[in-house]
Amino acid sequence: MSLPILDEPRTPFDGFRDECGVVGIWGHAEAANLAYLGLHALQHRGQEGAGIVASDGLQLRAMRGQGLVADVFRDRDALEALAGSRAIGHVRYSTAGGNEAANVQPLMVRYGGGGLAIAHNGNYVNARSVREELEAEGAIFQSSSDTEVLVHLVARSRQRSFVNRVVDALARVQGAGSVLVLTERMMLATRDPHGFRPLVLGQLPGGGWVFASETPALDLIGATFVRDLSPGEVVVVDQDGLTSFHPFPRTKPRACIFEYVYFSRPDTMLWGKDVYSVRRELGRRLAQEQPCDVDMVLPVPDSGVAAALGFAREIQAPFELGLIRNHYVGRSFIEPNQRIRDFGVKLKLNPVPGLLTGQRVAVVDDSLVRGTTCRKIVRLLRAAGVAEVHLRIAAPPTVGPCWYGIDTPTREELIASRNEIEEIGRFVGADSIGYLSLQGLHAAVHEGEDGFCDACFSGQYPVLHDDLQRGPQLPLFAEST
Ligand code: AMP
């Protein structure tokens, strides 16, 4: 079904802007340490908080904190104290306010049935209304995360078996969720029926199981890739081994196409294809659709590198690393005081002296969101003496925010949601600008039977946000009566 472009909902929870990565280890004496390593491989999926919950079969133990994985787990003794052969881990990025510490995952609770920990990558679009229902029945929430809704639903389910409780809870939420659940006795992994976010299964050399958002987490700990979990699949691991079932009605798969464009690591095998090759192909097709006559092709590092390589090969121009990135300035960088503020992009990128003077350059990036980064890059290049700057974007214009777990700004902030491409070119100050077409993007990922979610580029949202179904006039949190 083709949906119209809609006004965006208001942000119900921090979860609306969450980006996350998850890892689970079952059946290894060093489970927490392996989860810790796996989280390092997934650090790009979230830099604001990290956590691990481990189980020794009798008890769950947690270690969580704000910051990068290396900072949160600096205390080696505390990590060693996460005893047991099973563990789940989570990295998280969230831009919205709220009590950040309470939102760090895995969430861990004790309920009538014992201990329960949940790590979630994605965003549930009906979390607010489910939360309001639960609050009206007396539930008390400790965080503003949409994942906590799931915890309450599991605890309150009337199903008898634990697995059925989780399935019951998952059936109540809509939207994106690659989820890991850990109790004292079992681990459960699932992808939502649309399969928005990735989740893979791997096997450790000694026979243990691994779940991870991306395959580099398996590579790092020496695990072998077994397969992707399929959309709507639930996999349970316990003392009897591994079982898989599909308890939810089947629906059209909607894997996130932006994972290929930007979010996943280039060395990830994602849904049967390596991300690096897909990005190079995006660049090749971009060059076919939007060629230009230049002396060299520069990537915006690191996000534009693979696409720029494909672009340069196709137009047969030299590929040059004309912009050098400082890798030690992260997203969480806090600018100094007002007087010396606004280093802007210079903090991250610096042109190579001499290389660019008098040159006509094509600059290739993976995507353009607000347009502010490219505008600064164009200025930087002109100051370095380039003769012409031709901006090429290896994705279609970003016209809609993501409701399913990628951090995109509001629609107003998305430059392509309110401007024609020529106006964007003028804003960034480029001599020319060109985007890849939506058809080009789909052709590059070789869409087969399975569909992708391209809502950020097409405005076609496969699952409506709850706020839109309920109308725009409702208060943020309805008062419980
Ligand atoms: P902007 O200045 O907002 O146009 O930023 C564009 C840059 O942000 C591009 O270089 C992208 O690689 C990068 N980008 C795109 N989406 C995201 C995201 N969800 N999180 C962080 N960076 C992103």
CATH number for position 295: 3.40.50.2020
Distance from C-alpha of 370 to C-alpha of 375, rounded to nearest angstrom: 10
Distance from C-alpha of 326 to C-alpha of 346, rounded to nearest angstrom: 9
Rounded distance from Cα 371 to ligand 1 centre (Å): 9
Nearest residue CA, atom 7 of ligand 1? 368
Query: What pLDDT score was predicted for residue 440?
Result: 97
Nearest atom (ligand 1) to Cα of 415? 4
Q: Does a structural domain hold residue 441?
A: yes
Q: Which of 373, 398, 424 to mutate to test the pocket of ligand 1 (most atoms within 8 A of CB)?
A: 373
Distance from C-alpha of 43 to C-alpha of 72, rounded to nearest angstrom: 12
Q: Which residues are catalytic?
A: 20
Rounded distance from Cα 354 to ligand 1 centre (Å): 28
- Provide the domain limits for residue 300: 273-327+342-458
Distance from C-alpha of 213 to C-alpha of 26, rounded to nearest angstrom: 15
Nearest atom (ligand 1) to Cα of 371? 4
Nearest atom (ligand 1) to Cα of 368? 4
Rounded distance from Cα 193 to ligand 1 centre (Å): 28
Nearest atom (ligand 1) to Cα of 19? 19
Of the candidates 430, 434, 389, 453, the residue with the CA atom closest to the CA atom of residue 285: 434
Q: How many domains does the chain have?
A: 2
Structure token pair of residue 51? 């956590």
Which are the contacts of 167, defined by CB distance < 8 A and separation ≥ 6? 159, 234, 247, 248
Same domain as 308, residue 187: no
Same domain as 280, residue 197: no
Q: Where are the beta strands (DSSP E) in 229-329?
A: 234-238, 241-245, 255-256, 269-270, 273-274, 296-299, 323-325
Nearest residue CA, atom 18 of ligand 1? 407
**Which residue positions in the chain have pLDDT lower than 50?**
1-16, 96-98, 449, 471-481
Query: What pLDDT score was predicted for residue 446?
Result: 84
Same domain as 285, residue 199: no
End-to-end Cα, the chain, rounded Å: 38
Query: What pLDDT score was predicted for residue 408?
Result: 86
Distance from C-alpha of 402 to C-alpha of 405, rounded to nearest angstrom: 7
Nearest residue CA, atom 11 of ligand 1? 367
Nearest atom (ligand 1) to Cα of 407? 19
Question: Could you count the other beta carbons within 10 Å of the beta carbon of residue 347?
Answer: 13
**What is the biggest distance separating any 2 CA atoms in the chain, rounded to whole angstroms?**
73
Same domain as 299, residue 191: no
Q: Which of 19, 265, 369 to mutate to test the pocket of ligand 1 (most atoms within 8 A of CB)?
A: 369
3-state class (DSSP) for residue 262: helix
Same domain as 436, residue 291: yes
Same domain as 427, residue 397: yes
Distance from C-alpha of 395 to C-alpha of 274, rounded to nearest angstrom: 17
- Contacts made by residues 99-102, CB under 8 angstroms, sequence distance 24+: 99/143, 99/144, 100/14, 100/48, 100/49, 100/66, 101/49, 101/65, 101/66, 102/142, 102/143, 102/144, 102/145
CATH number at residue 135: 3.60.20.10
Rounded distance from Cα 369 to ligand 1 centre (Å): 6
Same domain as 129, residue 60: yes
Distance from C-alpha of 236 to C-alpha of 365, rounded to nearest angstrom: 40
Nearest residue CA, atom 19 of ligand 1? 407
Q: Which of 262, 366, 415, 419 to mutate to test the pocket of ligand 1 (most atoms within 8 A of CB)?
A: 262
Same domain as 80, residue 217: yes
Q: Does a structural domain hold residue 245?
A: yes
Query: What pLDDT score was predicted for residue 288?
Result: 98
Query: What pLDDT score was predicted for residue 14?
Result: 36
Place of tokens 């992707």: 228
Same domain as 291, residue 246: no
Of the candidates 31, 41, 94, the residue with the CA atom closest to the CA atom of residue 69: 41
Q: Does a structural domain hold residue 314?
A: yes
Distance from C-alpha of 83 to C-alpha of 56, rounded to nearest angstrom: 6
Structure token pair of residue 23? 């890892």
Question: Could you count the other beta carbons within 10 Å of the beta carbon of residue 341?
Answer: 9
- Contacts made by residues 468-473, CB under 8 angstroms, sequence distance 24+: 468/6, 468/7, 468/9, 470/129, 472/7
Rounded distance from Cα 119 to ligand 1 centre (Å): 25
Rounded distance from Cα 424 to ligand 1 centre (Å): 15
Please, are residues 409 and 369 in contact by the beta-carbon 8 Å criterion? yes
Query: What pLDDT score was predicted for residue 96?
Result: 46
Same domain as 437, residue 296: yes
Phi, psi of 80 (to 5 degrees): -60, -30
Distance from C-alpha of 135 to C-alpha of 15, rounded to nearest angstrom: 18
Query: What pLDDT score was predicted for residue 144?
Result: 86
Q: Does a structural domain hold residue 190?
A: yes
- Residues with CB under 6 Å of ligand 1 are 262, 300, 303, 365-374, 406-408
Query: What pLDDT score was predicted for residue 329?
Result: 81
pLDDT in tens, 244-301: 999 999 999 999 999 999 999 999 999 999 999 999 999 999 999 999 999 999 999 9
